[in-house]
Amino acid sequence: MTSNPDMTELNRRQFLIRSAKAGVSVAAACTAGLWFYDAKGPDRSSQPQMQHGLLDFSIENLDKKMSIARGKNRAATLHLAIESLGGIETFIKKDDQVLLKVNAAFASPPILSATTHPQLVSEMVQLCYKAGAARVVVTDNPINDPTSCFALSGIEAAARGSGAEVVYPRDELFRPLTVPNTTLIQNWPVLYDPFEDITKVIGMAPVKDHHRSGASMIMKNWYGLLGGRRNIFHQDIQTIITDLATMVRPSLVVLDGTVSMISNGPTGGSLSDLKETEMMIVSTDQVAADAFGATLLGKTPSQLPFISKAEAAGVGTADYRALNPVEVSV
């Protein structure tokens, strides 16, 4: 029988030598690690400061509410829907600083309904001032060139014409943000500074078909707060919408289903992509608003995965009927 070299026994001296060598190796590795370790991290003295947390502007002690106003005239349905929830004073108080997050994604005219309708922006700004708001800001980080988008969509003229301040996205307004309990919004640049000193946030979006996500409504509209190469999120669009809804807790949302883009969204292009659905949805629950909006596109909420995902994340309820929505007609 031949002896196995692996089974050769060590004597005491060899064992001690080997142990010493192993100890030196471990100590060398630790020293190298310590040498590379940078407790301060990269110098960011000139960089925006990392932010953590939510953009939470939900109104304390206010039950979830929803109103659905039927009619063709946006101004009339907006007023009626808000009135049916107790009036604008329920949501906006004296000296509030209000931010309207509109959808100004494309440099397209209002008639194509790819962006928030300027009449709606104008009415909302006036309502806020009527309630005593000290300042109203309108902002978005559009897909196309911001100047063209705000101008051609009519949003800039409508906002300024009614006394609001329009904030274009600029580099220095973005900050890296990490949102707890989200998958994708980790250390990602977000249009953050316009929210400084803001006390109320209102999300305003049209009802649209969307080639990737199935629909673009209130929750998808927060996408316009992202900076960087955000198009990578299209690969996981349902998750990013859920994350965005987790990130922003608005005071109120206005979902414009007066005319819905039922096909070829989110850009559309032809008037035949649109359908007069004649609904204005106002709610404090963005998930419920989108769940109802889905029906205007001929879909059920369960056909849009981001709705159930947002509900599971605790953002709101997909069962909009549970809110006993007030239904009114002009």
Partner 1 sequence: MNRVTENRSPKQTLLSVVILATLLVIGGSIFLIHYRINPAVLQPGSLLPPAQNMPASLPPTSAEAIMQLPPGLVPLTPSETFESHNLSDKINGKAELYLSAGFNRLISQRLTDGHTDDIWFEVLVYDMGTGQNAFSVFSAQRREDAQPLGLTQYSYRTSNAIFLVHGPYYMEIIASNASEQIMKSMQTLAEYFIRENRTETITIAEEQLFPEKDKVANSTSLIASDAFGYDHLNQIYTAEYTMDGNRLMAYLSHRGSSEEANKLASAYRDFLVNFGGKSIDAELIITDALVVEILDTYEIIFPCGPYLAGVREAANLEQATILASQLFNKIKEVIGDF
Taking the least distance from each CB to partner 1, the nearer of 106 and 320 is 106
Altogether, the residues listed in the chain come to a count of 330
Phi, psi of 181 (to 5 degrees): 65, 25
User: Rule CB under 8 A: is residue 273 a binding residue for partner 1?
Assistant: yes
Distance linking the first and last C-alpha atoms of the chain? 101
How many CB atoms are closer than 10 A to CB 52? Answer: 10
- Which residues, 122 to 161, sit near partner 1 by CB under 8 A? 141, 143-145, 147-148, 152
Taking the least distance from each CB to partner 1, the nearer of 263 and 295 is 263
User: Rule CB under 8 A: is residue 210 a binding residue for partner 1?
Assistant: yes
Q: Can you tell me which of 14, 25, 183, 324 binds partner 1, judged by CB under 8 A? A: 14
Q: Can you tell me which of 90, 97, 119, 264 binds partner 1, judged by CB under 8 A? A: 264
Answer yes or no: are the C-beta atoms of 71 and 327 closer than 8 Å: no
User: Rule CB under 8 A: is residue 196 a binding residue for partner 1?
Assistant: no
Q: What is the dihedral of CA 188, 194, 195, 198, to 10 degrees?
A: 180
What token pair was written down for 314?
Answer: 């605790």
**What is the spatial distance between Cα 84 and Cα 86, in angstroms, rounded to a whole number?**
6
User: Rule CB under 8 A: is residue 182 a binding residue for partner 1?
Assistant: no
User: Rule CB under 8 A: is residue 44 a binding residue for partner 1?
Assistant: yes
User: Rule CB under 8 A: is residue 212 a binding residue for partner 1?
Assistant: yes
- Tokens 């110098």, located at residue: 43
**What is the spatial distance between Cα 319 and Cα 169, in angstroms, rounded to a whole number?**
35
Q: How far is CA 131 from the centre of its chain?
A: 25
Q: Can you tell me which of 257, 266, 301, 325 binds partner 1, judged by CB under 8 A? A: 266
Taking the least distance from each CB to partner 1, the nearer of 7 and 60 is 7
Q: Is the dihedral of CA 63, 282, 122, 267 positive or negative?
A: positive
**Which residues are bridge partners to 176 per DSSP?**
189
What token pair was written down for 319?
Answer: 């069962």
Stretch that binds partner 1, among 8-16, 78-86, 253-261, 305-313 (CB under 8 A): 8-16
User: Rule CB under 8 A: is residue 238 a binding residue for partner 1?
Assistant: no
User: Rule CB under 8 A: is residue 87 a binding residue for partner 1?
Assistant: no
Residues that bind partner 1 (CB under 8 A): 5-6, 8, 10-11, 14, 36, 42, 44, 47-48, 50, 105-106, 108-109, 111-112, 141, 143-145, 147-148, 152, 169-172, 174, 176, 187-189, 210-213, 216, 227-229, 231, 234, 237, 263-267, 269-273
